[in-house]
Amino acid sequence: QDPDDSDEDEHDNDDHENSRKTYASLNSRNFYRLILFQILWICPWIAIIIVLPSFGAHWFGGCISQQQLRITYVDGCEPDFVTYNFYLTLFISIGGLISFLFASVMGRMSDSFGRKGFIIFSILCLVLPKIIFLVFY
C-alpha cells in the first residue's frame, strides 16, 4: 500500500470528524441563543435605519411641529433630505474620528483595569441614546 494513501485517508477522517463537530455545535443550545441574541440585537438597528432618515428629513425640512411631547407632521411640507444627509455624514465622520483617536487609549485602559467593565460601559453608551430616543420622542 502506498504511504500517500494513508495520509489521504487520515485527512478524509479528520475532515469528516470536523464536519461532525461543526454540525453538533450548530445544534447546540448556545448556538440558538447566539442566533436569538443576534436577531434581538439587529431589530432596533433595522427600525432606526427605516424610521430615522424619514424623521430626520422631515425635521430639517420644518415639516414637524412639536408641542410638549407630541409630534405632528405638517401637511404639504417638503422634507429636506440634503440637509439631513449632510448632518448625518458629519456626525458619522466625527464618530469615526473620535473612535480613531481614543481606541488605543481605551485599549490600554481595558488592559490595565479589565475588559468586563469597559464592555458593559460601551454597551450602555450604545443603548442609552436609543432608549432615550424611544421614550421621549
* Cα angle 41, 45, 47; round to 5: 120
Residue 12: in which H helix or E strand, if any?
A: helix 3-26
Residue 72: in which H helix or E strand, if any?
A: strand 70-73
pLDDT of residue 94: 92
pTM for the structure as a whole: 0.48
Choose the weakest-confidence range: 21-25, 74-78, 84-88, 91-95.
21-25
Core vs surface per residue 98-137: b (16+ CB within 10 A) or e: eeeeeeeeeeeebeeeeeeeeeeeeeeeeeeeeeeeeeee
